[in-house]
Amino acid sequence: MAKGTGKPRKKIPRALAVVRADNCTGCEACIEVCPVDCIYKVPGEDQPHLQSFVDIDLERCIGCDLCERWCPWDAIDMVPPTQLVAAVADKGGPEPYLEKNGAQLIAVAQTIQDLAIEAQQAKK
């Protein structure tokens, strides 16, 4: 899963990066440019049989959108945090990866989305 390096960000960004795994070739251009090192290659050592693609630790993404701009395959969407769960649920990718990680990825998205909606309501 996520590399877990670096510090969590302090504020939820206006948009977070979600990889459309079925469009991703695993070229690693996004990994090179991410300033907080929150993009990680899949398969990891635990799933070496899967096609190559990347995923993103949404708890650490700062929404800078560099990855989206550098991706040659248009495989990254910048998604408002209030719409994160649907985007993550629809991100695609190989079944074995989704079976193993899908629920956890959605749970993380749900936590961020709930916080973003709370913050939005607090401003009203």
Given candidates 19, 84, 88, 106, which one binds ligand SF4 under the rule CB under 6 A? 19
Is residue 87 at the binding interface for ligand SF4, with CB under 6 A as the rule? no
Residue 116 in contact with ligand SF4, rule: CB under 6 A: no
CA-wise closest residue to 36 among 15, 14, 71, 67: 67
DSSP letter for each residue of 60-108? T-----HHHHH-TT--EEEE-GGGHHHHHHT----HHHHHHHHHHHHHH
Binding of ligand SF4 by 39 (CB under 6 A): yes
Among positions 2, 12, 18, 38, the unique one binding ligand SF4 when judged by CB under 6 A? 38
Which residue's CB is nearer to ligand SF4, number 17 or number 112? 17
